[in-house]
């Protein structure tokens, strides 16, 4: 059984993230959505909330599970016995960053190969930053979020 990890901060998970997760199912038998921390980021939602929202987003997807981990991705890769890391890229800036991260992960673990998937053009302007900006104004940007996530955030108000 092959395992793909789709890592990210998911602050919060968006329709763009969900699209990449669904597409990762085409390359692996199981997809693990890894909610992780990046020390360079300040989060709107704590890890527990981000993981809970991710679980809501993928609840109807067979062979997808969510884990929260504050360690290194290459260590999680080994603990899970994963076969590939899957990341989405929206533009050249994302691609350059993800290529650097892929090279770093591969240098740490020669099995930790990364597959970069281009974002669906209809979702390429979507980002968690846009979602957080809307949430900061009191709006719930339902068009950018999985339905269950939008409901959870709207009910949180």
Query: How confident is the model at residue 157, as a pLDDT?
Result: 56
Question: With the C-alpha atoms ordered 141, 128, 135, 47, is the resulting torsion angle positive or negative?
Answer: positive
Supply the DSSP symbol for 88.
Answer: E
Mean pLDDT of 21-42: 95
The CA angle 124-19-90, to the nearest 5 degrees, is: 25
Q: How far apart are CA 70 and CA 118, in angstroms?
A: 26
Does residue 60 surpass a pLDDT of 60?
yes
pLDDT of 70-97, one tens digit each? 999 999 999 999 999 999 999 999 999 9
Please tell me the predicted confidence (pLDDT) of residue 116. Answer: 98
High-pLDDT (> 70) share of the chain, %: 99
Token code pair at residue 117? 């998937």
- SS3 for 24-43, per residue? HCCCCCEEEEEEECCCCCCC
Q: Helix, strand or coil for residue 68? A: strand
The percent of the chain in helix, strand and coil, each rounded to the nearest 5, is 45, 20, 35
The predicted model scores a pTM of 0.94
pLDDT digits (tens, 9 = 90+) for 121-139: 998 888 888 989 888 898 8
Could you give the CA distance from residue 123 to residue 144 in angstroms, rounded to a whole number?
Answer: 9
**What is the residue-averaged pLDDT of the chain?**
94
Sign, CA torsion 82/88/92/97: negative
Residue 53 has pLDDT above 90, yes or no: yes
């Amino acid at each position: 059984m092959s395992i793909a990890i789709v890592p990210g901060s998911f602050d919060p998970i968006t329709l763009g993230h969900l699209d990449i997760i669904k597409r990762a199912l085409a390359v692996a038998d199981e997809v693990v959505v890894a909610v992780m921390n990046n020390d360079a980021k300040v989060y709107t939602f704590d890890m527990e909330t981000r993981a809970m929202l991710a679980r809501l987003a993928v609840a109807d997807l067979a062979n997808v599970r969510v884990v929260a981990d504050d360690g290194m991705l290459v260590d999680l890769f080994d603990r899970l016995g994963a076969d590939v890391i899957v990341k989405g890229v929206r533009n050249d800036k994302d691609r350059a960053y993800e290529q650097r991260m892929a090279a770093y992960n591969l240098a740490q673990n020669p099995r930790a190969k990364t597959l970069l998937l281009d974002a669906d053009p209809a979702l390429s302007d979507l980002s968690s930053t846009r979602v957080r900006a809307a949430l900061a104004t009191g709006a719930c940007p339902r068009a950018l979020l999985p339905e269950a996530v939008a409901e959870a955030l709207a009910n949180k108000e």
